[in-house]
Structure 1
Amino acid sequence: MFSLKNVTRRFGGKAAVSSVSVDIPQGQMVGVIGRSGAGKSTMLRMINRLVDPSEGSIHFGDVEVSSLRGAALRNWQRDCAMIFQQFNLVPRLDVLTNVMLGRLNHRSTALSILNMFTREERIMAIAALERLGIEQTALQKAGTLSGGQQQRVAIARALMQQPKMILADEPIASLDPLNAKVVMDALRDINEREGITVMTNLHTLDTARNYCERIIGMSAGRIVFDGAPRDLDAAAVRAIYGTGADGAEIDETVTSTSIKGGAGLVQDNVKESASVTPLALAGI
Structure 2
Amino acid sequence: MLILENVTRRFGSFAAVENVSVQIPQGQMVGVIGRSGAGKSTLLRMLNRLIDPSDGVVRFNEVQVSSLKGAALRNWQRDCAMIFQQFNLVPRLNVLTNVMLGRLNHRSTLLNLAGSWSRSERAMAIMALERLGIAQTALQRAGTLSGGQQQRVAIARALMQSPKMLLADEPIASLDPLNAQIVMDSLKSINQEEGITVITNLHTLDTARTYCERVIGMAGGKVVFDGPADQLTADAVRMIYGAEGEDLSEGITSTSLGSSGGTESIGSLEPAA
Question: How much has 1:255 moved relative to structure 2?
Answer: 2.5
Task: Note if 1:6 corresponds to 2:2.
Answer: no
Q: Which residue does the alignment assign to 1:235?
A: 235
Question: How much has 1:242 moved relative to structure 2?
Answer: 1.3
User: Does the residue aligned with 1:167 lie in a helix, a strand or coil?
Assistant: strand
Q: TM-score, normalised by structure 1?
A: 0.90
CA distance in 2, matches of 1:79, 1:116: 23
Letter in 2 for 1:128: A
* Contact 2:180 2:257 (C-alpha < 8 Å) held by counterparts: no
Q: Which residue does the alignment assign to 1:253?
A: 251
Q: Which residue does the alignment assign to 1:32?
A: 32
CA distance in 2, matches of 1:88, 1:19: 30
Letter in 1 for 2:52: D
- The runs of 4+ residues in structure 1 deviating greater than 4 Å are none
Structure 1: unaligned runs, 5 residues or longer: 261-284
CA distance in 1, matches of 2:247, 2:235: 10
What pairs with 1:1-284 in structure 2 (closer than 5 Å)?
1-243=1-243, 248-259=246-257
Which of 156-165 and 108-117 deviates more?
A: 108-117
Letter in 2 for 1:250: L
Question: How much has 1:52 moved relative to structure 2?
Answer: 0.1
**How has the CA–CA distance of structure 1 residues 212 and 112 changed in structure 2, closer, same or farther, with 3 Å as cutoff?**
same
Question: How much has 1:250 moved relative to structure 2?
Answer: 1.4
CA distance in 2, matches of 1:56, 1:85: 27
CA distance in 2, matches of 1:218, 1:254: 17
Structure 2: unaligned runs, 5 residues or longer: 259-273
CA distance in 1, matches of 2:65, 2:98: 27
User: Does the residue aligned with 1:140 lie in a helix, a strand or coil?
Assistant: coil
CA distance in 2, matches of 1:113, 1:57: 35
Q: Deviations over 1:74-100 (max 9, x none)?
A: 000000000000000000000000000
CA distance in 2, matches of 1:249, 1:216: 22
Q: Which residue does the alignment assign to 1:264?
A: none
**How has the CA–CA distance of structure 1 residues 102 and 201 changed in structure 2, closer, same or farther, with 3 Å as cutoff?**
same
Letter in 2 for 1:249: D
Q: Which residue does the alignment assign to 1:277?
A: none
Which of 109-118 and 161-170 deviates more?
A: 109-118
Question: How much has 1:130 moved relative to structure 2?
Answer: 0.2
User: Does the residue aligned with 1:200 lie in a helix, a strand or coil?
Assistant: strand
Q: Which residue does the alignment assign to 1:281?
A: none
Q: Which residue does the alignment assign to 2:269?
A: none
Letter in 1 for 2:34: G
Q: TM-score, normalised by structure 2?
A: 0.93
Question: How much has 1:36 moved relative to structure 2?
Answer: 0.3
How many residues get paired? 258
Q: Deviations over 1:226-284 (max 9, x none)?
A: 0101100101001101116xx54311112222246xxxxxxxxxxxxxxxxxxxxxxxx
* Contact 2:207 2:257 (C-alpha < 8 Å) held by counterparts: no
User: Does the residue aligned with 2:184 lie in a helix, a strand or coil?
Assistant: helix
Q: Deviations over 1:2-53 (max 9, x none)?
A: 0110000000110000000000000000000001000000000000000000
Q: Which residue does the alignment assign to 1:275?
A: none
Letter in 2 for 1:256: S
CA distance in 1, matches of 2:241, 2:229: 16
Letter in 2 for 1:153: V
Q: CA RMSD in A?
A: 0.9
Which of 250-259 and 166-175 deviates more?
A: 250-259
Question: How much has 1:113 moved relative to structure 2?
Answer: 1.3
